[in-house]
C-alpha cells in the first residue's frame, strides 16, 4: 500500500502531498496521517509555513472516499466521530498560527474544498479546475464545516449559489468571487505555492502568529476588541529580536533576516 500522504521539508516549509493520484481521495488513512502531521507541525518551531498539494497534475481531491464510511464508523464508533476528526483537523490547521498554502486544480470537491477552506492562502489553476461543494447532488450536505467557511469567505449569496445548485466553478471564477487568492497556469501552480510558502516562512514568525490570532475569526468580534487585540500584539512584539532586526535593516537599507534567534 502506498503512503497516503507524502511529506518533505524545504527549509522552514513543510510540503504535504495527498498521494492517491489521479483522484486523490481523502481516505481514512490519509486523514490519520494528516492529523499526525498537523499536530507535529504545530509543535515544531522550525516549521513556519506549510504547502498542501496533491500528487499528479489531474486533481487536487475528489474528497472523502465514501466507500470507506462504513469502515470509518466501525473504527471510530459513529459517523459523527468520523466527521469530528475532519472538523478537528481543519480547525487545528486554521488556528495553529502558521500559514498554510494550498493548491486547487482539477476536481476540488467536497472535502477537497473543505480542507482548503481551513487553509490561509488558496492558489488555483487557471485551466480545468472544478471547485465546489456538490453534496446536494447525492442527497447529502457538507459536513466538514464547508458551508460555514464558504459563507465566511465568499458571502451568503455566492455560498447559496454554489451549495444549493451543486455548482463546480473554475479557477478564474473562484478568484472573481474571492474564494482564492491567486490564479496560475497549472504548470506553474505548485512552484508558485512553494515560493509563497518560502515567502511566508521568511516573515517574522512571532509577528505572523500574533497577526493570525487577531485576524482569524475577527469578523465575528466587535471592532474595539480587535483593536485591543492588535495593540496587545504590538506591545508584545515591541523590542523583540525580529523587531530590532527590521529596524536595523531599514536603517542599513538592506533586506531584513528574521527568525535568527
191 in a domain, yes or no? yes
**How large is the greatest C-alpha to C-alpha distance in the chain, in angstroms?**
62
Among candidate residues 144, 106, 101, the one with its CA nearest the CA of residue 123 = 101
Write down the pLDDT at residue 76: 87
Which residues, at least 6 apart from 20, have a Cβ–Cβ distance to it below 8 Å?
2, 4, 27, 30, 55
User: Rounded mean pLDDT of 90-116?
Assistant: 98
Rounded to an integer, what distance in angstroms lies between the CA atom of residue 56 and that of residue 19?
Answer: 8
User: How do residues 206-260 score in pLDDT, each as one tens digit?
Assistant: 999 999 999 998 888 899 999 999 999 999 999 899 999 999 999 999 999 999 8
Helix runs in the chain, H state only: 28-43, 69-76, 79-95, 111-118, 146-154, 156-164, 171-176, 186-202, 205-215, 223-237, 241-251
Kindly report the backbone phi and psi dihedral angles of residue 255, in degrees, each rounded to the nearest multiple of 5, phi listed first: -80, 130
- In terms of residue numbers, what domain contains 163? 5-202
Residues 211 and 188 in one domain: no
The answer as to whether 258 is a domain residue is no
Asked if residue 24 and residue 35 are part of one domain, the reply reads yes
The CATH number of the domain where 127 resides is what?
Answer: 3.90.226.10
Q: Is residue 26 located within the same domain as residue 76? A: yes
- The answer on 236 and 145 residing in a single domain is no
* Contacts for 171 with CB less than 8 Å, ≥ 6 apart: 104, 105, 124, 125, 126, 127, 129, 131, 180, 183
Average pLDDT over the chain reads 96
> What is the Cα–Cα distance from 116 to 76, expressed in whole angstroms?
24
The verdict on 185 and 218 lying in the same domain is no
22 and 84 part of one domain: yes
Question: Do residue 211 and residue 163 come from a single domain?
Answer: no
Residue 259 in domain = no
Predicted pLDDT of residue 187: 98
CB-based contact 15:53 (threshold 8 Å): yes
Three-class SS of residue 5?
strand
Q: Which pLDDT tens digit goes with each residue over 16-75? A: 999 999 999 999 999 999 999 999 999 999 999 999 999 999 999 999 998 988 999 998
Q: How many domains does the chain have?
A: 2
Does the pLDDT value for residue 101 go beyond 80? yes
Query: Are residue 210 and residue 192 in the same domain, yes or no?
Result: no
- Could you tell me if residue 261 is inside a domain? no
62 within some domain: yes
Is residue 83 domain-shared with residue 150, that is, in the same domain?
yes
> Does residue 257 belong to any structural domain of this protein?
no
In this structure, the answer to whether residues 68 and 194 fall within a common structural domain is yes
Amino acid at each position: 500500500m502506498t503512503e497516503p500522504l507524502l511529506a518533505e521539508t524545504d527549509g522552514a516549509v513543510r510540503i504535504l502531498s495527498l498521494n492517491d493520484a489521479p483522484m486523490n481521495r481523502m481516505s481514512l488513512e490519509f486523514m490519520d496521517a494528516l492529523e499526525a502531521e498537523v499536530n507535529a507541525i504545530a509543535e515544531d518551531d522550525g516549521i513556519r509555513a506549510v504547502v498542501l498539494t496533491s500528487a499528479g497534475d489531474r486533481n487536487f481531491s475528489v474528497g472523502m472516499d465514501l466507500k470507506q464510511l462504513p469502515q470509518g464508523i466501525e473504527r471510530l464508533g459513529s459517523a459523527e466521530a468520523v466527521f469530528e476528526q475532519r472538523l478537528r483537523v481543519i480547525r487545528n490547521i486554521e488556528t495553529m498560527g502558521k500559514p498554510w498554502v494550498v493548491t486547487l486544480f482539477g476536481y476540488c470537491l467536497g472535502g477537497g474544498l473543505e480542507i482548503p477552506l481551513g487553509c490561509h492562502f488558496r492558489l488555483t489553476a487557471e485551466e480545468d479546475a472544478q471547485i465546489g461543494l456538490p453534496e446536494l447532488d447525492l442527497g447529502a450536505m457538507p459536513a466538514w464545516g464547508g458551508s460555514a467557511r464558504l459563507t465566511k469567505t465568499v458571502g451568503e449569496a455566492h455560498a447559496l449559489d454554489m451549495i444549493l445548485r451543486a455548482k463546480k466553478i473554475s479557477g478564474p471564477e473562484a478568484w472573481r468571487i474571492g474564494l482564492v487568492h491567486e490564479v496560475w497556469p497549472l504548470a506553474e501552480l505548485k512552484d508558485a505555492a512553494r515560493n509563497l510558502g518560502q515567502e511566508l516562512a521568511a516573515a517574522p514568525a512571532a509577528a505572523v502568529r500574533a497577526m493570525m490570532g487577531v485576524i482569524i475569526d475577527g469578523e465575528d468580534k466587535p471592532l474595539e476588541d480587535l483593536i485591543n487585540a492588535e495593540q496587545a500584539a504590538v506591545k508584545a512584539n515591541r523590542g523583540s529580536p525580529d523587531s530590532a532586526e527590521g529596524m536595523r535593516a531599514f536603517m542599513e537599507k538592506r533586506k531584513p533576516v528574521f527568525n535568527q534567534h
